[in-house]
Amino acid sequence: MSEALRPRKSYLRETELIRCTFAKNLSNFYSINNNRNRIPKFVKKEVADFLSCGILANGFIRLYCKDCKSTEVLAFSCKRRGFCPSCCGRRMNDTAIHLEENVFPIAPIRQWVLSFPFFLRYLMAYDPKVITAILKIHTNEISRYYKGNSGQERTEVKTGAATVIQRFGGALNLNPHFHSVFVDGYFFKKNNKVYFKRVNASNQMELEKLLKVIVKKILRWLERNSYLELESSNLNLLENTMASIHESSVCYKISVGPRKGEEIQIGGSENLAKVVNSGGGLSIKGFNIHAGVSIKSHQREKMSILFRYISRGPLAKGRVEALSDEKILLKFKKPWSNGATHVVYTNLEFIEKLIALVPPQRAHLVRYHGVFAPSSSWRKEICSKRNVSNKKPEKQNKYRTPWAELLKRTFNVDAELCNKCGGKLKPIALIIKTEKVGAILANLNISSKKVFIPYLSERAPPSEVQALPSEDEYSQIPLDW
């Protein structure tokens, strides 16, 4: 009897809820938006790949156990980076492992978070050039701060950092901001050897001075490139197909459906309202910087948690619930300062918010600076000074972390272990031809049903959408080998 590898049930329920919401309402969403605001092809492809993610009918890898002669199957993933819970979870662990084991040496680190006013969030959402320019200003000024406190010539010392560009807020609103993790000090060379020295934490006065310089240079760059000439009320006139969706998402408003132009429905209790403690943060003209999170060199477990936090996806486990067939509730991680605990979206509004989070094509979301940059001559020597207990696999994998290890860390599924006898599974076949998938699954006694996949062409989508099969009807996991 053949089986399919299965992740945790709680994960499956949430993933299927999101998938069913898209499958049943996507055609209506496209028909509404195509008349006034055409959706780009790369966004449609992101949604189409998400709907096929983890579906056995779209292909799988076949695994075989020599000990008990049993066969198991593992479905493919979409590998998208917008909102797919499974692929964002895998990417989160992959990035965290890479940063911890292959990038950052054994040294203290500090997180610098920079967020932006509404008008700038819109510009950063669709124009990667704006993000690159602002990120360069941000990291250069922080690097200059570390070098200035080194007591040495700035040309003789170097800093290192990695930045994760997040595009989402707690309410699935569009909120591009930077999570930059700097080595909390500077590197210098002596007798052809690289040494590290820590820098004391910045006080409120130094932080305010740093933020003022960052804000001044950002506004100067925007003015020099004619971005400040655009008024916020006319942002949707820019030549971008996602303009109104982006603008509404940034402003916590709705762009489609009967509630178009209204604010999102936030719920909670005034009894939970509290005064927010900055905790190492500062705000000037809508720009906010926070540098209150620091981790010592021996706290490797805390570093791993921080790296997973900055690399996470927009949808977290246990935060999405179906209130009815037409409404979805999204819980916040913790109550806001005004007492808000959740937001309620209709199905169309939920799709709108997730689509707004899809990043532009060919725009990197993880970037490296200073000695961690690919072109740095110091990178090889510094990055090799990681924990000696971490061993590389004997054979270099296509991915930075072996795929089976990511399966185990993210979904609690051991793809190399047989569920029946505990023996080792070995891949024996890659099934990618759609016409053969059904016959092979039937032969293996694993049922599968067709799932609605939206057309990528300009043809109208089908009028009837088939519902997805229940969890008990067949097993699946949205990952590939």
Least confident of 18-22, 154-158, 192-196, 433-437: 433-437
The token duo for 139 is 């990291």
Q: How confident is the model at residue 366 (pLDDT cuts 50, 70, 90)?
A: very high
Summarised one tens digit per residue, pLDDT across range 164-183 is 999 999 999 999 999 999 99
Could you tell me what percent of the chain has a pLDDT over 90? 44
Question: So what's the pLDDT on residue 201?
Answer: 87
Whether residue 67 has pLDDT greater than 90: no
Whether residue 232 has pLDDT greater than 50: no
Least confident of 234-248, 386-400, 447-461: 447-461
Question: So what's the pLDDT on residue 467?
Answer: 33
Pick 152 or 161 by higher pLDDT.
161
Least confident of 118-127, 236-245, 396-405, 458-467: 458-467
Whether residue 372 has pLDDT greater than 70: yes
Average pLDDT over residues 225-230: 78
Pick 471 or 120 by higher pLDDT.
120
Whether residue 264 has pLDDT greater than 70: yes
Q: The whole model's pTM is what?
A: 0.84
Question: So what's the pLDDT on residue 126?
Answer: 80
Question: So what's the pLDDT on residue 289?
Answer: 95
Ranges of each domain in the chain: 1-86+412-481, 105-257+276-314+351-383
Average pLDDT over residues 340-346: 93
Whether residue 114 has pLDDT greater than 60: yes
Pick 37 or 418 by higher pLDDT.
418
Average pLDDT over residues 86-102: 90
Among 2-6, 317-321, 394-398, name the most confident range. Answer: 317-321
Q: How confident is the model at residue 286 (pLDDT cuts 50, 70, 90)?
A: very high
Question: So what's the pLDDT on residue 96?
Answer: 93
Whether residue 147 has pLDDT greater than 90: yes
Whether residue 410 has pLDDT greater than 70: yes
Q: How confident is the model at residue 251 (pLDDT cuts 50, 70, 90)?
A: very high
Compute the mean pLDDT over every residue in the chain, rounded to the nearest whole number. 81
- Dihedral sign for Cα 168, 319, 265, 327, please: positive
Among 20-34, 353-367, 423-437, name the most confident range. Answer: 353-367
Average pLDDT over residues 5-27: 73
Question: So what's the pLDDT on residue 63?
Answer: 87
On whether the CB atoms of residues 109 and 295 are closer than 8 A, the answer is: yes
